Chains A and B, each alone.
Chain A
């Protein structure tokens, strides 16, 4: 007897067919990771594959790295000068040691917090969703996500000499109706990010037809 109606099995195609970017050198600290190994996120669903993991471009860390280095070097240069020239006549050793210890502890904190905020502020593109995790400071976290099927438009913006030179920029993902716009700030290879999201959108449309 011929089948009149064959119900879909409900199984979704979890195989990922996305063209990899031209340059794909990556390690755990990379700002642009295509299909990273050994990486998971909190709300990852079974069968969900991470296609892209993005952070702000490494060069955007320059201000705090520079400040951190200056803070590390400052006592090494200034304190011997102060002591040799007797600018401050008599600094007791215990006070001197305490100042140096506190200085380096605060420098350590400054570098550590800035690094953690950079490292854990990520945008993730999976075969199902787009996730944006923003750690605004040590206490505040913003988590937003949308389905690939809800994405309507993806645009990129690169402006200025430094962004053009280091090939990074902002990517804006517009979702349906009055929902939010996802902003990936200062991510490397924004053109590749747009291309990959567009490919995923195309795949999603094919599946829904």
Chain B
């Protein structure tokens, strides 16, 4: 009886769980992508050193932090 209720609850929550796992995986990949973008921008900035290069690196840091924030949001609230 207890097991049936547990399985029933699990099945009813399964779609939400699948969506959450999929979204979290996607956001983890995005975080890795954001790290690569940040690292590559630093490399690019050394190849061509312009006045706005530090600003571009700063924007990629914001991008990385945004990715981290959304990952946290998805884990906590989705």
Contact = CB atoms under 8 A, between A and B. Distances in A.
A79 interface: no
Nearest to A42: B47
B14 interface: no
- Consensus secondary structure, chain B interface: helix
B63 A109 contact: yes
Interface residues of B, number: 30
Given A95-B78, A98-B73, A116-B56, A138 B48 contact: no
A141 B37 CA distance: 13
B75 to A, nearest CB: 11
Contacts of A28: 50-52
A105 B49 contact: no
A98 B37 contact: no
B40 A139 contact: yes
A112 B77 contact: no
Interface in A21-38: 28-29, 38
Given A39-B50, A116-B41, A135-B44, 14 more contacts: A38-B50, A40-B49, A41-B48, A94-B78, A97-B73, A98-B73, A101-B73, A105-B66, A109-B30, A120-B48, A122-B48, A138-B36, A138-B40, A141-B43
